[in-house]
Structure 1
Amino acid sequence: MKKICPKCGIVDKSHRCSKISNQKKRDDGFYSKYSWIKLRARILKEQPYCMRCLSKYGQIVDDKLEGHHLLARSEYPEFELEEDNIVMLCKQCNLELGDSSILDFELNNKDKEEFYYNNKKK
C-alpha cells in the first residue's frame, strides 16, 4: 500500500524520507522514566490496538504499539504525562504522524477529543 510522506509529500510504498532520517530526535531519557513506562502500560491495557488504523482504515492492529502524544511533547511539554494526551498507535502510524500536533483521524474517545481541542493552540 502506498503511503504519503508527512515531511516531503512523496507518495510511494517504499520511500525513506531523508528529512525524517536526518532528523535528530532528542534523547532526554523521557521514554525510559518510570512514570512514562507506568502510564504507557495503563493506556495499553485500555487501548490494545492502533487507534489510527482502526479509525482511518477499519483495521485492528495490535503489533508494535507506541504511545503517541496528541499534543507533541516539543510544543506542549506540560502535557507529556497527561493520560488524555496519549493514544496507542502502531509504529508505522506513529512515524507517519511524527512530532506533529495535527491529527488525520477521528479519536473516537470523548475525553481525549475534549482534551485535544481544548488545549491545542489555535
Structure 2
Amino acid sequence: MTIDVSTEKARHEFYCHNKDWKRVRLKALKRDHYSCVICKAKGILTTSRLEVDHIKELKYYPELALELDNLRTLCKDCHNKRHNRYQRTRKQWDDERFEW
C-alpha cells in the first residue's frame, strides 16, 4: 500500500484519518509505557502531552510510515526540540521587545 505524504495536507490527512496509523500509534504508546523516551533516558518521567514521532521523518521515508520500529513516544516539548520547533513564551516576547 502506498501512502501519499507528499504535501502538508496529505500528511495531515494521514495523521488525522488513517486507521492503520492510529493502530500503530497506539502500539508505540503502549510499548513505550505511555511516557516520553527522551525524558525517561534523562531520569524524568513525562506522561502528559505525548506524541508519536517518526524517527526517520514521514515526508522523507513514507515507506516507514507504519513501521513500529521507526516510531517512538515523545512529549510535546521533546518532539518540538527534535524538529527545531521552538515555542516562544509570552515572557520571552516581552523581554525581547525591550532589547535595544
TM-score normalised by structure 2 residue count: 0.68
1:26 to 8, 27, 42: 8
* CA distance in 1 between partners of 2:14 and 2:83 (Å): 17
1:77 to 50, 62, 65: 62
Preserved contact between residue 25 and residue 52 of structure 2 (Cα < 8 Å): yes
Q: Name structure 1 gaps, 5 residues minimum.
A: 1-24, 100-122
**Other structure's SS at 2:73 match:** strand
Is 1:98 matched up with 2:90? no
2:91 aligned partner: none
1:59 aligned partner: 44
Aligned-pair identity in percent equals 31
Query: 1:61-117: per-residue Cα shift (whole Å, max 9, x none)?
Result: 010110100101121111011000000000111111118xxxxxxxxxxxxxxxxxx
Q: Name structure 2 gaps, 5 residues minimum.
A: 1-6, 85-100
* RMSD, aligned CA: 1.6
* CA distance in 1 between partners of 2:74 and 2:40 (Å): 10
* CA distance in 1 between partners of 2:9 and 2:48 (Å): 24
Amino acid aligned to 2:73: M
Is 1:50 matched up with 2:36? yes
TM-score normalised by structure 1 residue count: 0.57
Query: 1:6-51: per-residue Cα shift (whole Å, max 9, x none)?
Result: xxxxxxxxxxxxxxxxxxx813111121111111111111111000
Q: Report the count of equivalent residues.
A: 74
Question: Once structures 1 and 2 are overlaid, which stretch shifts more, 41-50 or 78-87?
Answer: 41-50
**Greater gyration radius:** 2
**Other structure's SS at 2:51 match:** strand
Amino acid aligned to 1:51: V
